[in-house]
Chains A and B, each alone.
Chain A
Amino acid sequence: MEFINTNLPYILAGISVGGQYALISIGYTMVYGILRLINFAHGDIFMVAGFAMVYLSATSPLYISIPFTIIITVLLGFVVERVAYKPLRSAPRMSIMISAIGVSYFLQNCAWYVTSGLAKQYPKIPWIGDSISIGSATTKIVTVITPILTFILVIALVLLIKYTKIGMAMRAMAKDFETSQLMGVKINSVISFTFIIGSFLAAIGSLLYFTNYTTVTPIAGAMPGLKAFVAAVFGGIGSIPGAVIGAFIIGICENIIKGLGWTTFSDAFTFALLIIILVAKPTGLFGEKSTDKV
């Protein structure tokens, strides 16, 4: 109890960050599940969402800037897939991965060019940016909103995948890409749809994340992106509940480590965790073992 009392602010922050990582990691896990691609650009799409909000809110009210931020992010995700990944669908997997790195490099450099490398102040979103006290801790309302919103979105997504036709197509493609193509699944539209969902969730995640952290820089997406990917691997890549649970675990642990005064190692911890899970259970918490056919 003592531990919880002194660490309550960190645990709360951890849950909040965990929810934000969860929203990003779903984009990774779904794309990996279907294309077997680590979408290195996903973290940067998240970063662009942050900048879109900064620039849009400078000129327009929130009820316009928030929807437009989401639309821009979704469009970006869609365009990136169409331009950079679709032409390489039959290429070796390493080529697509390199293309993803190229996109990441491109987005970071563009952001750098547009902002001259300066950190931008993230606009205050009223209400969710307000302070609230829970027990002994004072925090922003966004901290409380994040896990709830994450939870709702994840349930909606799971239902979508389970009960709709496109969800079924996604599951089929994750199991066997070629066969589902032969069965008449329109793979290109399903893949686009996957990127759209991933980018949509990343945009929501960025609204919540940057409200917490208040500044956006061109490399702001790199670290959350990597951590979200680790979360996806931790939970068993391809599994949405796995990714969410992994993200919460990483968010909470990381903040407790910060609370203990080991801030330098809060990032290192994530990767130590990755290596541990890869050694102990390479398929992650909820992953299925697959045997390559010889």
Chain B
Amino acid sequence: MTENILHTEKLTMQFGGVVALYNLTIDVNKGEIVALIGPNGAGKTTAFNCITGVYEPTYGSVTFCGETIVSNHPQGKMKKMYLGEKDSEKLKVIRPTPDKITKLGIARTFQNIRLFNSLTVFENVLVAKHMRAKQNVLTATLRLNWREEKRAREESLALLEEQGLLQYKDELASSLPYGLQRRLEISRALATEPKLLLLDEPAAGMNPQETQELAEFIVKIKNKYDLTILMIEHHMDLVMKISNRIYVLDFGKLIAHGTPAEVQKNQRVIDAYLGVAEDA
């Protein structure tokens, strides 16, 4: 029996008249590595943003570990503009801010790396520990939380050591080379102690050698931290190699889904990627 970690139900995101994501229903089970692929502008990052609360979906819901964490239906002006199905079922409105979702156990990285550039590598990881601490502003200021702080520091150092970043710990995050910035961003996400990790194009800008290393790295952290991973990726060899299942998006719609082998043979996927000849 596989345990469902993440389920999205008819997730739809409409910006004005543009439908960026339409009726996306996906499932991610515990321990899986699931890839979300598709041509540029297919709505992959939009899906991530809806799941993590950065955007409010126009319609649809997200369930995490059996609990509905995001849910919305078109309201106000959007009611008229909404292009999706006009089904009568009205979802409850649950629109948490991204920090609440992170707290529940979903961590993410960003397509264009977003580190805290004026903080050191060590502090970047330490910031992620802030959320789980029991301190309040008074105890933190007066250092009455010193025990907790010490533990957070030790855990962060341990994490940096595992990721091979310890030697850079006092350098500014912005001064790291690109590859290490990617790794730091993943480390920072791991520091929030997630159950589900969303990776947005982790291999962007990497050469085949680095992509290869990254594949091993992802599998390693998945096993080590007992994670489930949902990732967006363009490097097909990476996707085919490590993912258990693949969802393919095109123009905001799900066009195929299955194991890597199934997806590779799917005609609609081939059309989406290579285009269809006009006279065909």
Binding site for B on A (CB under 8 A): 291, 294
Contact = CB atoms under 8 A, between A and B. Distances in A.
A294 B15 contact: no
Interface string B183-213: 0000000000000000000000000000000
Interface in B207-236: none
Interface in B119-136: none
B15 A291 contact: yes
B49 interface: yes
A294 B13 CA distance: 14
Nearest to B45: A294
Nearest to B15: A291
Contacts of B19: none
A142 B78 CA distance: 45
Please give me the 3 A-B residue pairs with the lowest Cβ-Cβ distance, nearest first.
A294-B54, A294-B49, A291-B15
Contacts of A294: 45, 49, 54-55, 110
7 contacts: A291-B15, A291-B55, A294-B45, A294-B49, A294-B54, A294-B55, A294-B110
A21 B60 CA distance: 45
B28 to A, nearest CB: 21
A291 B49 CA distance: 12
Main secondary structure of the interface of A (DSSP, over half): loop
Contacts of B15: 291
B117 to A, nearest CB: 12
Contacts of B54: 294
A294 to B, nearest CB: 5
A294 B55 CA distance: 9
A203 to B, nearest CB: 38
Interface in B155-191: none
A142 to B, nearest CB: 41
Nearest to A288: B16
Nearest to A290: B15
A273 B110 CA distance: 38
B166 to A, nearest CB: 30
A294 B232 CA distance: 15
A291 B110 CA distance: 17
Nearest to B112: A294
Nearest to B46: A294
A16 B244 CA distance: 71
A294 B45 CA distance: 8
B263 to A, nearest CB: 27
Interface string B25-64: 0000000000000000000010001000011000000000
Contacts of A291: 15, 55
A102 B237 CA distance: 56
Contacts of B45: 294
Nearest to B13: A291
A178 to B, nearest CB: 15
A5 B26 CA distance: 67
Interface in B81-132: 110
A3 to B, nearest CB: 34
B23 to A, nearest CB: 20
A294 B54 CA distance: 8
A294 B49 CA distance: 8
Contacts of B49: 294
A294 B111 CA distance: 8
A294 B15 CA distance: 14
B19 to A, nearest CB: 14
A125 to B, nearest CB: 47
A252 to B, nearest CB: 28
A294 B47 CA distance: 12
A294 B114 CA distance: 10
A293 to B, nearest CB: 9
A291 B54 CA distance: 10
A286 B45 CA distance: 30
A133 to B, nearest CB: 46
A291 B15 CA distance: 8
Nearest to A291: B15
A291 B50 CA distance: 13
A294 B52 CA distance: 12
Contacts of B55: 291, 294
A31 to B, nearest CB: 26
A155 B241 CA distance: 63
A176 to B, nearest CB: 15
Nearest to B111: A294
A175 to B, nearest CB: 13
A291 B55 CA distance: 9
A90 to B, nearest CB: 16
B47 to A, nearest CB: 12
B185 to A, nearest CB: 14
A80 to B, nearest CB: 30
A131 B91 CA distance: 63
A294 B201 CA distance: 13
A70 B205 CA distance: 55
A91 to B, nearest CB: 15
A43 B49 CA distance: 41
A291 B45 CA distance: 14
Nearest to B114: A294
A294 B56 CA distance: 13
A37 B269 CA distance: 46
A81 B257 CA distance: 55
